[in-house]
Amino acid sequence: MLKGIAVVLVAVFAFVVCDNHLFRNADIDMDGHLVESEFDMIFDHWDRNNDSRVSEYEFAEGWRMDDWDDDVNAVLEFHLFDVNDDGYIQDVPDLRHLFKTFDNNGDGQISASEFRYTWDSLFED
């Protein structure tokens, strides 16, 4: 029982570290906010064949490489990010749409708390 709780706590902790890390990496000018170009960069380095979009395969590979979570989740999450369901994540329309989802107060920037809040709700079961 206690061991189970400990495992859950470690998993939650790892996840919190992961999303803070992601935000800090994406915030190029380190002003504590993500603008659209910074937001687009999150998935940029997963685009291995440089066609400016991330396929489901590239997504699963990047997910594993960056150690986000297990592979089963990657496929599920891919469909969350692929807003128009065409099998690719790209700036337009997928990331534009996601940016608006993250930018809760509509000021054109994603603050750390907006990022955290939306990230958590995306990944809730």
Site membership for Ca ion, residue 107 (CB under 5 A) = yes
Q: Which stretch binds Ca ion (CB under 5 A): 6-14, 71-79, 107-115, 116-124?
A: 107-115
CA 48, 54, 57, 63 torsion: positive or negative?
Answer: positive
Residue of 2, 105, 121, 125 that binds Ca ion (CB under 5 A): 105
For residue 3 the two structure tokens come to 């061991």
Residue 18 vs 35, nearer CB to Ca ion: 35
Burial zone of 116 (CB within 10 Å; 0-12 exposed, 13-18 middle, 19+ buried):
middle
SS3 56: helix
Residue 12 vs 80, nearer CB to Ca ion: 80
Site membership for Ca ion, residue 120 (CB under 5 A) = no
